[in-house]
């Protein structure tokens, strides 16, 4: 991935090229400095030697494990890019081995090529059902093994790069928030409130995940807003406001190249729309505003009201809810979501609310991390 910045003295880095350029995988695999690690798990020495010989034509780093237990301890220590495993092994079958790897989030994306000398379509079906990505019958044909391994490694490199790109975007988003010392932990609280409200609405895990990501990424476009505007004391001019409003569009542009962030884009673009159509950037009104963006907005306003800012103290929960209900009455906010949020949050005092919401966030994190 390639993101370039231009930073001038005293200014925010300007994102010059937000597109994510995926490297040409063919070239990457041929680069000797990038030696993918292939682990062969097979109790028969001859089989491992044969496979090693077949893969010698490419600059792979080969690790060998005689038994699944040895393979698991290697997986704890090493970054493995692909596993070739035999169906029949001591300790556990290749199928059980595969199931264990695919049910663990740390190893689920490692591609697995299963091999066997045991004939029968049922083995192939069981192998693929256990999570193996490819299945080859012995005797192995060197050209077929090499091609399969190469294709699987290319896909793995792509998955790694997307994961890395998303991690970089999250880090960038947090750096935007951390520049503003008054909003420390803002993203975390937003994600927690958003998920709490989504759960109260019975929304899917998919939507909750989008809100989790939206909590962190919604203001990433602020990276392109100069400090002189972002941190200006006093009122912004009309021109400065126009620049400030651009953060919604810039944020969407930054995240758009990542397909996995597609569900988050409406949140990023529309989190400043208003129910009565007076918001930005598109002047959407009512239910034209995506639901997840409306949820994040309720969370955002509540957080702004209940934390101290240079121009105001932190409001207690009841006062914050009263302001939000008044804004809903005036037609600015979703007239159903705001009372629901007030109800969800209203059964608890401030500390309890944060604890409960934090709990939702921790659960979501655990699910993401495995
Ligand atoms: Fe914003």
Catalytic positions are 222
Separation of alpha carbons 109 and 103, rounded Å: 10
> In what helix (H) or strand (E) does residue 4 lie, and over which residues does it extend?
strand 4-6
- Residue 323 Cα to ligand 1 midpoint, Å, equals 19
- Residue 271 Cα to ligand 1 midpoint, Å, equals 6
User: Which residues, at least 6 apart from 74, have a Cβ–Cβ distance to it below 8 Å?
Assistant: 39, 63, 65, 80
Angle, vertex CA 177, rays to CA 196 and CA 214, nearest 5: 40
CA 325 to chain centre: 33
Strand 61-65 versus strand 37-41 pairing type:
parallel
- Residue 352 Cα to ligand 1 midpoint, Å, equals 27
Going by C-alpha positions, the residue among 297, 318, 299, 301 that lies closest to residue 309 is: 301
Give pLDDT tens digits for 12-66.
Answer: 333 333 333 333 344 444 455 568 999 999 999 999 999 999 999 888 999 999 9
Confidence band, pLDDT 50/70/90 cuts, at residue 118: confident
- Residue 272 Cα to ligand 1 midpoint, Å, equals 6
Give pLDDT tens digits for 56-80.
Answer: 988 899 999 999 999 999 999 998 9
For residue 64, the cross-strand partners are 40
Task: Using DSSP, state whether 364 is helix, strand or coil.
Answer: helix
For residue 137, the cross-strand partners are 116
- Residue 130 Cα to ligand 1 midpoint, Å, equals 44
Give pLDDT tens digits for 123-180.
Answer: 888 888 888 999 999 899 999 999 999 989 988 887 777 777 777 777 777 777 666 6
3-state percent breakdown (helix, strand, coil) of the chain, nearest 5: 60, 10, 35
Does the bond joining 53 to the residue before it have cis omega, within 30 degrees of 0? no
- What are the φ and ψ backbone dihedral angles of 111, each rounded to 5 degrees? -70, 145
Please give the radius of gyration of the chain, using alpha carbons only, rounded to the nearest integer.
26
- Residue 114 Cα to ligand 1 midpoint, Å, equals 49
Separation of alpha carbons 159 and 107, rounded Å: 13
- Quick check: 289 pLDDT over 90? yes
């Amino acid at each position: 991935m390639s993101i370039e910045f231009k930073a001038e003295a005293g200014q925010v880095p300007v994102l010059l090229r937000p597109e994510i350029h995926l490297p040409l995988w063919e070239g990457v695999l041929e680069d000797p400095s990038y030696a993918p690690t292939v682990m062969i798990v097979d109790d028969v020495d001859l089989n491992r030697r044969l496979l090693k010989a077949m893969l010698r034509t490419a600059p792979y780093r080969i690790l060998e494990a005689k038994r699944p237990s040895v393979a698991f301890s290697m997986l704890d220590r090493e970054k493995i890019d692909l596993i070739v495993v035999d169906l029949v092994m001591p300790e556990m079958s290749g199928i059980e081995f595969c199931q264990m790897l695919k049910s663990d989030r740390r190893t689920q994306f490692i591609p697995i090529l299963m091999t066997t000398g045991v004939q029968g379509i049922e083995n192939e079906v069981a192998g693929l059902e256990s999570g193996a990505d490819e299945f080859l019958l012995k005797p192995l044909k060197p050209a077929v093994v090499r091609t399969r391994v190469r294709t699987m490694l290319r896909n793995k490199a792509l998955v790694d790069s997307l994961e890395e790109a998303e991690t970089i975007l999250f880090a960038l988003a947090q750096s935007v928030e951390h520049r503003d010392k008054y909003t420390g932990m803002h993203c975390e609280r937003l994600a927690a409130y958003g998920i709490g409200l989504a759960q109260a609405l019975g929304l899917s895990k998919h939507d909750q995940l989008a809100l989790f990501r939206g909590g962190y990424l919604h203001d990433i476009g602020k990276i392109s807003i100069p400090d002189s505007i972002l941190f200006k004391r006093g009122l912004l001019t009309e021109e400065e406001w126009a620049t400030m409003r651009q953060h919604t569009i810039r944020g969407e542009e930054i995240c758009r190249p990542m397909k996995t962030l597609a569900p988050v884009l409406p949140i990023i673009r529309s989190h400043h729309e208003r129910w009565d159509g007076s918001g930005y950037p598109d002047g959407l009104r009512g239910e034209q505003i995506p639901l997840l963006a409306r949820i994040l907005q309720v969370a955002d306003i509540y957080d702004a009201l209940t934390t101290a800012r240079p121009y105001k103290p932190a409001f207690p929960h009841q006062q914050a809810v009263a302001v939000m209900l008044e804004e809903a009455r005036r037609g600015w906010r979703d007239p159903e979501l705001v009372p629901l949020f007030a109800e969800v949050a209203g059964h608890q005092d401030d500390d309890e609310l944060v604890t409960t919401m934090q709990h939702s966030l921790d659960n979501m994190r655990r699910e993401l991390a495995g």
